[in-house]
Structure 1
Amino acid sequence: MEGGSVMSDLVTLTRTLAEPDRDLVVLAEGNTSMRTGDCEMLVKASGSQMGTATEADFVAVRTQPLLDLVASDSTDDALVNRTLLDARLDADAPKPSMEALLHALCLEEAGAEVVAHTHPTAVNGILCSDRAQELVAGALFPDQVVVMGRHNVLVPYADPGLALARAVRTELLRHLAVHDRPPKVIYLVNHGIFVLAASTAEALAVTEMTVKAARILAGALAVGKPVHLTDAEAERIDTRPDELHRRRRLASREDR
């Protein structure tokens, strides 16, 4: 997927994620972003549809004002709207998605280069149940570890926008303090997923594997109790040289 301009790569990823057969988003659900420089990103505009996205549907935004808002004590909806508009590099550009707040966190606090937010039906079937914790209880199969890493984040439901961004920041900082590396997936209860990646190819690969893992988990729950890899087994997969090589190759695939 990599190889074109930053903008064309982001548009391609966005439209690919919205392909109907993938069942990841419908209508104006979901959004994507990409780091473009020091404290700057491209993010999908509010209300635009991923499936028909063009370059005109993305906005160049300064991330620091968004991070400052999330770290503040303000709960003023008008301030959120004003901050999103003021953060645009071009005052005539469309309004950024409300979830630009979360994209800024994932890019700046977690060091991602590309972020993909979707609402996969297979994953949300579990996130909207009382078994959501199972999604982060452990890995079920080796390739889940290779692509998604060993440890990911589950965030309790919060009102989309500023409240959710603050909830994500709390859980993300806790995760970084414990594991000293960012998650690949942030699961949002009753909402969807954020995928944190180094490239557009990796963003797609992690999203695909997250959906597969959810389907396998749902099947395991339907017939009994999920059997996870042991910590030693998962750590072995996570650090094997051949699996690290596969992980790098998956993150840089250009044949999608």
Structure 2
Amino acid sequence: MARFAPELVGEELVALTRRLGDPAQDLVILAEGNTSERVGDDTIVVKTSGSSMKDAAADHFVAVEVSPLLELLRDPSSSQDALTAALSAGERNGRPVRASIETLIHVAVRAFEPARYVAHTHPTAVVSLLASTRAEDAFTEAVYSDELVVLGRSLFVPYAQPGIDLGRVFLERLGAHVEEFGEVPSLILLGNHGIVATSGSAEGAEAISLMAVKSARVRLGAIQAGGVAGLDAASTAHYFDRADFRERRAALAGADG
């Protein structure tokens, strides 16, 4: 299901991956994190396991087909070993090449929306909240207007072991969110793990990732100052109905509304 196809990897994806992997951003270290781009009706290219985002190049990605991996994900008899085999793209220069263990996150998003870009990172500030007793409701309420513009309605997914376990929980929670709100969220928060940004543009995926970090820092600062005073539902009820809100959100986050 996975194959080495550097000719399918675009310059925008490589540049996005490198920007998100910049140590100054504190989004990932070492081989953490992964990105993907939709390059066909049923094909995405996704970062390989063990490669560094900051040093990304076209040959650090492999192509995978979405439908077979979704079938594997939805089959209750599928095992982690079956997933590992499906993500293998053979060997290159005497070393095995395999799509990221978190590829199923990227696949699950495309089950509901043909998002062009998906970026998964582990920002220290956000993970601090997602590893806390406040994790599940930490981002339930927005804390300032621009956060809501860029991030929209976020989704929290509880911790599951990376691989097929996380893929199944992620797919279930994402499906419930889409059923309730009619859209894939721009920001998905993974308990004790990290974040997933979905966007129609590389710039949007980066903006969502960076805004999530700022939003986490604001919350951590507010907690130190005595507690978080979020914007309640009544204050933000009509944001998503406003044309100017939708236009700004599309410009900044690459979202439709």
TM-score normalised by length of structure 2: 0.89
Aligned match of 2:36: 33
1:9 aligns with 2:12: yes
Amino acid in structure 2 at the alignment position of 1:240 = R
Amino acid in structure 2 at the alignment position of 1:164 = L
Aligned match of 2:3: none
1:109, distance to aligned residue in structure 2 (A): 2.3
1:118, distance to aligned residue in structure 2 (A): 0.2
Aligned match of 1:183: 185
Q: SS at 2:97's partner residue?
A: coil
1:126-141 mapped onto 2 (5 Å cutoff): 126-141=129-144
1:148-163 mapped onto 2 (5 Å cutoff): 148-149=151-152, 151-163=153-165
List per-residue Cα deviations over 1:47-101 (Å, max 9, x = no partner).
111010100101111111111111011352321111223xx6x987931111111
Amino acid in structure 1 at the alignment position of 2:98 = K
1:81-96 mapped onto 2 (5 Å cutoff): 81-85=84-88, 94-96=97-99
Q: In structure 1, what is the Cα distance between the partners aligned to 2:253 and 2:176?
A: 26
Q: SS at 1:41's partner residue?
A: strand
- Which among 78, 81, 96 is matched to residue 78 of structure 1? 81
In 2, are the aligned partners of 1:154 and 1:188 still within 8 Å (CA)? Answer: yes
Q: In structure 2, what is the Cα distance between the partners aligned to 1:229 and 1:6?
A: 41
Q: SS at 2:179's partner residue?
A: helix
Tell me the matched-pair count: 244
In 2, are the aligned partners of 1:23 and 1:121 still within 8 Å (CA)? Answer: yes
1:59 aligns with 2:36: no
Q: In structure 2, what is the Cα distance between the partners aligned to 1:100 and 1:122?
A: 24
Q: SS at 2:51's partner residue?
A: coil
Aligned CA RMSD, in angstroms, stands at 1.9
Q: SS at 2:98's partner residue?
A: coil
Q: SS at 2:136's partner residue?
A: helix
Aligned match of 2:236: 234
Q: In structure 1, what is the Cα distance between the partners aligned to 2:80 and 2:250?
A: 41
TM-score normalised by length of structure 1: 0.89
Q: In structure 2, what is the Cα distance between the partners aligned to 1:65 and 1:138?
A: 37
Gap regions ≥5 residues in structure 1: none
Moved more, 119-128 or 66-75: 66-75
Moved more, 70-79 or 99-108: 70-79
1:227, distance to aligned residue in structure 2 (A): 1.6
Sequence identity, in percent?
A: 40
Q: SS at 2:195's partner residue?
A: strand
In 2, are the aligned partners of 1:107 and 1:115 still within 8 Å (CA)? Answer: no
Gap regions ≥5 residues in structure 2: 1-7
Q: SS at 1:51's partner residue?
A: coil
